[in-house]
Amino acid sequence: MAAHLTHLALAGVRDLDIYVVYAETSLSIPEHNEFVKRVAGMMGWRLRVVKPSTDFVECVRRWGAPRLKRRWCKQVMKVEPTTRFVKQQPPKRLAVFGLKKHDMTRRNLTQMMWMPEMGARTINPLWAWNNRMVRAYLRKFKIPESPIYATLGKCIGDCVCVLYVKPWQLHIIRILYPAVWRKFEQMDRVLKGKLFCRSGGGKPKLYSLHEYLALAQYSKPLIAFSRFKQ
């Protein structure tokens, strides 16, 4: 949505290179990747797909599974590829992101700031928006939503992160996206059944892939999906 807002605001500006940058991680849903490319083509945007230099499974082999206090996945899978692309552009760069204040956990982020690692100023035009405002904007300009939102929910398509994926989502991934599921199987073998870590209000507990998957047995979203598949 930030991409649409940027193009709308700068529609009359000439001699300005505008790119839409999408970080296609090695643990993203293929259907969502295709959706991004389709929408960019429909809107006439200049899309640039960036990818990490190292596969997610290999990163897990090096550093272990991402944890809340060791969230290397965002840096390696998204920030570094995006930064490489931005730094290749001419000086006086402006990077526009779709971050919202109420979604953020890092306190050092602001609506507009200088990012020395990118050599660019960044701005978040949606910073003060709430979910109701976002939905109203999408309806007004008839911007489509990713088809995976209907099955997996939002904020999971570009990277099925070990940190945040829920058991019921993992169950659906096994059914609909076998290539992504095989990545989870590889990571589980690398970590010898200690892929997921959840606290549950007490001492953190480690789960293997199939132990974590079993937690989805009585999940309401999974039951709804089973009925949908029938």
105 and 13 share a domain? yes
pLDDT at 227 exceeding the cut of 70: no
- Confirm whether 199 is domain-assigned: yes
48: left (phi over 0), alpha (psi -120 to 50) or beta: beta
82's tokens: 């995006």
Whole-structure pTM value: 0.85
- Confirm whether 61 is domain-assigned: yes
Q: Given pLDDT bands bounded at 50, 70 and 90, which one contains residue 201?
A: low
10 and 103 share a domain? yes
* Nearest residue to 78 via CA among 24, 42, 35: 24
- Confirm whether 56 is domain-assigned: yes
Count of CB atoms situated within 10 Å of the CB of 145 = 12
Could you read off the pLDDT of 74-113 as tens digits, one per residue?
899 999 999 999 999 998 899 998 888 876 655 567 888 8
How many domains would you assign to the chain? 2
Q: Looking at residue 157, what is its pLDDT?
A: 66
pLDDT at 205 exceeding the cut of 50: yes
For the chain, give the percent of residues with pLDDT over 70: 90
